[in-house]
Structures are given as C-alpha cells and as structure tokens.
Amino acid sequence: MAATAAIEIEKRRGRNAALSIAAVVILLGLPLWWKTTETYRAWLPYSQISELDSLQLQLSVEVEVVFSRGTLSPEQQKKVPLSQTREQEHQVDAKNRLRYRYETKYRTATIMEEDALNQPTAQEADHALHMLSESACGSVVVYVVPESSSLLPADVKVYVGQWRTALLRATQLPSSGILKEVLSTLEPQVKQVIDTMSFSHQEIMGALSDRIRISQVSKENLVDSMRAIKSSPGYEITFSLLNPDPKSHSLHWDIEGAVQSYIQPLLNKLSPIANFSVDSQILYYAVLGVNPRFDSSVSAYTLNAASLAHVINPVEARLGSNAASSYPVLNFLLYVPEAHHSPLFIRDHKKKEVPTNAFHSPRWGGIMVYNVNNMYDPEAEFPVHININMAKVMGVFLAQLRLLLGVQKTHPPPGFVLQSPGSAGLADWELDRLLWSRSVENVATATTTITSLAQLLDQISNIVINDNIAQQVSSAVTSLQAATAELEAGNLAFALQYSPNITLNMSSGGVIRGPAGNNDCRIYVGNLPPDIRTKDVEDVFYKYGAIRDIDLKNRRGGPPFAFVEFEDPRDAEDAVYGRDGYDYDGYRLRVEFPRSGRGGGRGGAGAPRGRYGPPSRRSEYRVIVSGLPPSGSWQDLKDHMREAGDVCYADVFRDGTGVVEFVRKEDMTYAVRKLDNTKFRSHEGETAYIRVKVDGPRSPSYGRSRSRSRSRSRSRSNSRSRSYSPRRSRGSPRYSPRHSRSRSRT
C-alpha cells in the first residue's frame, strides 16, 4: 500500500509540475513571445488617405474688371459694382476631376486710377497703377480703356504689364443699352486675358501628368513638364567657365557681379517657391568630348544637333560632386573653344546656326559656346587676356534658367503685347502661373505617394512603421488637405505655404523597415493600367534579367501595383533606372526599390544611380572589343561605336577589352563590318587600333549570361560619380575635377 501511495504521490507531483510549466508558458511565456515578436506599427489615418485616391481639385481665381472714364454710359455706370461667377468643370478620368471658378467683380475706376491711366505710355500707366495698390497673389486686374485711348497703339488690343494688371481696349462695345449686353460682349476678351495671365487647363493637366494618361496632356505641355526640373524645397545653381586652352586664353569673368545683377533678382522673386544657392568655378583643360567638324563654306567649326547629346556626360564628369547636398543641381557652362577650333558654332536640326550659340538639356542645365577669336589679333602674344561680356552670357543663361524652373513660354493671342519683366527677370503674373502649376503638382504627387504607401503597408502586414514615419504621414495628409482648401478658396499664397510640408522626408532614422530578405533584388512597380496581367509585367521587365517572381496586386477599389523580384540585384537596379517613368499604354510607370530595401540611399530608397556609369539597358546584339588603350573609358567606347547605330550598353575592363550592345541587330552587324580594325581615341588622347567581333551565343535569359567574376565595383554611396571601370581610379584630369579647378562662392 505504501508503495502504491508513493506512486500516486509521484504521479500527482508530475501532473502538478506539468500544469505549472504549462501555466508559466501560457501566462508568461506566450505573452512574452507575443510582445517580443510583434511588429510595431504606428497608427496612420487610413480613412483620410483613402479619400485622397480620388483627386477633386477646385482652383479659384479673383478677377477684377475696372471701367475707365468713357467706356460706360451714365445709365450703365449706375448698375456697377456687381459680381459674376463663372465655372468650368473637367472630368479628367474616373479618379481625377478639375473645377475652375472665376469670381469676377466689375467696378468703375477711382479718381487716382484715372490719373494713372492718363500717363503718356502704357508702361508708365502700369507702373503708376502698381504703386496705387498691389494685387493679391493669383488675382488678375483688367482695366478697360476707351477705344480712342492713346495708351495703346492702334494695332494693340491688350497690354499685359509687369505685375498683375492688363489694359484692354474697349472695341465694339454697345454705347447704349443694358449693362448685361456690354458684359456679354466683353467676356470673351476678358477670358483671353485670364488665359494669358493665369493658368490654362493644359498647364494644369501637365502638372497632373503623374496621375493621368500621358495621351491626355498636350504635346507642348508634356514637353514643358519633362524639361522643367521637379519641385523641390531647394536648388543648387552652378556656373562653370570651361577654358580648354589656358595657354592661349587668359579669361576673366565677373561672375559675382553678373549673378547679383541678372540672376539674383529672379531668385528673389522665386523665394516663395524654394531656396537657392549659387556657386561658380573655373575648369582648365576641360573639353566638350566631341570633335567639331570644319565647314569650309563658312570657315568655322560646327556642332550639329545630333552630337549635342554626347557633350553632357564628358563635361559633367569634370564638374565635381554635390553629394553633400540633397537638392537638385542646375549646371550652366560657358565654353570658350580652343584657338585651333575657333570659331565654333552650334547648328540646329535644320542645319542653321543657333542665334544664341547655346543649348539646354532637360532637368540638367545649359551650355553656351563663347567665341573669342575675333577679340584679338592673330599675331597677338599668347596667352591673350580676354574679358567676357557677362551681359550677353547672362541673357542666355537667364532664359534657360526660366525654362528649367518651369516658367513656360506664353503664346498670347494676336493683338496682345506682353511687357518685358525687365531686371526682375519674372513678371508677377508669370510667377502666379508657376505657383498654380507647382501647387497642383505637389498635391498630385503627394496624393499618389501617400495612397501608394498606404496600399503597400496594407499588403505587407509585418512591415515596421516607426512613429517618425507616422508623424510625417499625418503631417503630410493635414498639409495636403489644407493646401487643397486654400486652392479652392483662391488663396494661392497660403496654398503654397503648405506645399513644402506635403512631401514625405524619409530620413535614415525613420525609414519603413520590412522583414529581412533579399530586398536588393525586389522592385516596386506602380501606376499600372487597370487591366494589367502578370504576363504584361513580365514583358516589360524580362530583358533586364532573370525574374524570380512577380507579385501583382490588383485589388478591387484601388489601382494595381506589383513587386518584381530578380535573381541579381544589378538587374533590379538596371530595371529601376530603365523603366521608371516608362510610358506603358498611356500610363507613366513608377518603378523604384521598396522602402525596406536599398538602405544606403536617401530615405531608405537606395542610392541613386550615378550619372557617369555605363548605360544600363541591355540587349542580345552584343560585340566584344579588344585592343583598347589603358585610358579608354566606357564613354569613349560608346561614342566610338555610335557611328554604327544606337548603343544601349557599353563597358570596359582591365585587360583592354570591352563590351558593346546595340538596340538593333543590323547596327551590330554594321559595327563588325565597318569598325573592326579602326583607330580608337580615348579622352586623354591615346590611340589604338581595335578589333570588333560578335559575342558568342548567349543564354535566352539575359541575367544568367553575366559572368560573376567580372569586376563592376558599383559603389553604394551617395556620390554622384560611380566607377564602372577600375582604371578610372587613377584620377586622370578628365575624371578628377579637383586637380584643376578654382571655386568661388557667390
């Protein structure tokens, strides 16, 4: 019995121990495991974000029409002041609607305004009216003057001044009758003035280009939007003087004085939009990188339009790095040709000389060629001291800067005269047009970014959302709602104040972190068509490398997006570089790394591709080049092989070999036939005869054909310069701007 009792006690003790352990696991271990393994997700305003998916914008403009003495009969004057409201609505697509509201107030001119309108010229009258009162930002004031007024020449119907005022000649107005007939006759003319001085529908559509089909935007406005640099809180402007022949030319330019006289007034006008910093530098022995052709008919060297595209990369490599700045950079280069290449003229597509002898590159900057051969006697002793005419130079750079910052050209109707902005560089009404476009662009970009972010977080449940990100998202949503409300109320200045707060700032301390994985191989694809299929996504990206997986998210009620995972992270980087902004069936694709990957770059989105690396689009039409000189770069090889056709990829290696890939098969065949055993010249002047042959059979999957032993040394830093060829580390003068430049802060 005692033994049985002992066994029972032992069993009971075992059960109690098991129950105790289970209780500890359930009551302590399970909560502890749950707490330590949970994914922290700060609260986000999903309900407010979902409302942003459908963009409904209303832009309100205040218009004031002032009748001067002699334009209305005494009976008609008794019925003013009065107000009218005109609205236009445009249903762009299912998710975007625009409404324009014009609130027009009619009144007669005051005594002081009549005195101002009695000035001898329209320009003086415009200045006098501005001194009386300053119109609100975004508003338009139209002064109606008698048909017999001497303010306007006989062939001028409308004079648009420097500020927000226009003078309109009253033609064919009924001298008698009710005021309604007068206003009805005047309305089309006033509308033309508003369309000239304020925003136009096509300009607003251009600002919405990231949210709508490209086919819905006019070609001219699409070109303008692609040329202008994207909205940013700040910009850096660099003026560079390129002197490739300092032994012949000793150049002096008063860049500080020129910036203060010509550029700074414009930047002061644009201060509500962004902050600007300006610097300058002189680069010696810096050449354009293309060989001009001598035209015996004009006894001058020429650069045709086709060769201008090859100028940017070689020159940009000498400009230095702005990696310390997160702001976009606009470059303006003044190039003085060597004595043996002077004079040098730029020709357009019609083979006519460009009057300014300059050209600009979208979202990059401009280059002007400044000839000095006629400023000294051919027998003069070298180096010749030359003072550069900064008025001529800055006139060109100022026009280019306006275009690159988004100040679009205005095409007024016949009979309109637009007063030059003068030393200010920008008229008030031109500034208003830019503010309208930038405000709408910021709102459109923010709604797309925030809604895409919310959809991404909804799909990936175990992604971490820090408090910093949640605060930024909430602040962006609040600022977005405030900016939209101010646009609707017609308060353009207040709407602009909220615009800088709309964009998300994904700092390194507040990135959205996802689960561990091979994020370098995974890319996000947004703004896809509603009827997109997995096969369609594959067709867009297959040529960049072997694809491991495509995860297409096509939820009801939201725009589709996808994640594409490659076998090789370099293929993913090539795909982002080559397909971001790609027009697919009228939709401009957004291709980027997920925020959880590429942590070395700004905002956790990965370091941007350097501008000096080889082009990354790939094809199967590939040739192998051997016999390259030691100083030969991928850019030299690319420029040399372009004689055969369109080159989409080029790279060089340590052993003096290189690889070039063409867009078309016939270009590859022509290169082997015509460029084999030809003389190759590097940027440092080294020459060699190269051999060109077709590469061997390649695997159907582009990504699998790469040799993993190849040294590509892609830096993950934020530096603007990225070395693809190990020999570039030698620091030749062409690729190491620090060796021969002087900088002066202005």
Which CATH number fits the domain that encloses residue 696? 3.30.70.330
CA distance 140 to 157: 17
Q: What is the pLDDT of residue 390?
A: 92
Confidence of residue 718 (pLDDT cuts 50, 70, 90): very low
When divided into structural domains, the chain yields a total of 5
Residues 429-479: tens digit of each pLDDT? 999 988 888 888 888 888 888 888 888 777 777 777 777 777 778 888 888
Confidence of residue 567 (pLDDT cuts 50, 70, 90): confident
> Which of 405, 433, 454 finishes a domain?
405
Same domain flag for 643 and 566: no
- Give the range with max mean pLDDT: 27-41, 99-113, 730-744: 99-113
Q: What is the pLDDT of residue 711?
A: 32
> Which of 445, 475, 502 finishes a domain?
502
Same domain flag for 626 and 718: yes
Same domain flag for 67 and 179: yes
Q: Which residue has the higher pLDDT, 36 or 69?
A: 69
Does the pLDDT at position 514 exceed 70?
A: no
Q: What is the pLDDT of residue 143?
A: 93
CA distance 660 to 635: 11
Q: What is the pLDDT of residue 723?
A: 31
Does the pLDDT at position 613 exceed 90?
A: no
- Cα torsion 416, 422, 426, 429: sign: negative
Residues 630-688: tens digit of each pLDDT? 888 877 888 788 888 877 778 887 778 888 888 778 889 889 988 999 999 887 778 89
How large a percentage of the chain has pLDDT more than 70?
83
Same domain flag for 650 and 711: yes
Q: What is the pLDDT of residue 708?
A: 32
Of 252-256, 286-290, 292-296, 374-378, the least confident:
374-378
What is the domain extent for residue 367?
Answer: 234-405
Residue 615 backbone dihedrals phi, psi, to 5 degrees: -60, 145
Same domain flag for 172 and 110: yes
Same domain flag for 367 and 401: yes
> Which of 386, 405, 424 finishes a domain?
405
Q: Which residue has the higher pLDDT, 58 or 232?
A: 58
Does the pLDDT at position 203 exceed 70?
A: yes
Residues contacting 211, CB < 8 A, separation 6+: 55, 95, 96, 444, 447, 448
Same domain flag for 521 and 563: yes
In a domain? residue 398:
yes
Among 447, 469, 450, 449, which residue's Cα sits nearest to residue 41? Answer: 469
Mean local confidence (pLDDT), 398-407: 89
Question: What is the 8-class DSSP label of residue 117?
Answer: H
Q: Which residue has the higher pLDDT, 149 or 325?
A: 149
In a domain? residue 348:
yes
In a domain? residue 511:
no
CA distance 256 to 745: 8
Q: Which residue has the higher pLDDT, 626 or 317?
A: 626
Q: What is the pLDDT of residue 716?
A: 32
Same domain flag for 365 and 293: yes
Same domain flag for 151 and 214: yes
- What angle, 0 to 180 degrees and rounded to 10, lies between the N-to-C axes of helices 634-641 and 665-675? 100
Q: What is the pLDDT of residue 368?
A: 92
Q: What is the pLDDT of residue 601?
A: 35
Task: Find where tokens 């059960």 sit.
Answer: 15
Of 232-241, 257-266, 366-375, 581-590, the least confident:
581-590
Q: What is the pLDDT of residue 617?
A: 46
Of 305-309, 434-438, 556-560, the least confident:
556-560
Q: Count the Cβ atoms, other than its own, within 10 Å of residue 497.
A: 15
Mean local confidence (pLDDT), 168-187: 77
Same domain flag for 319 and 195: no
In a domain? residue 510:
no
Q: What is the pLDDT of residue 167?
A: 93
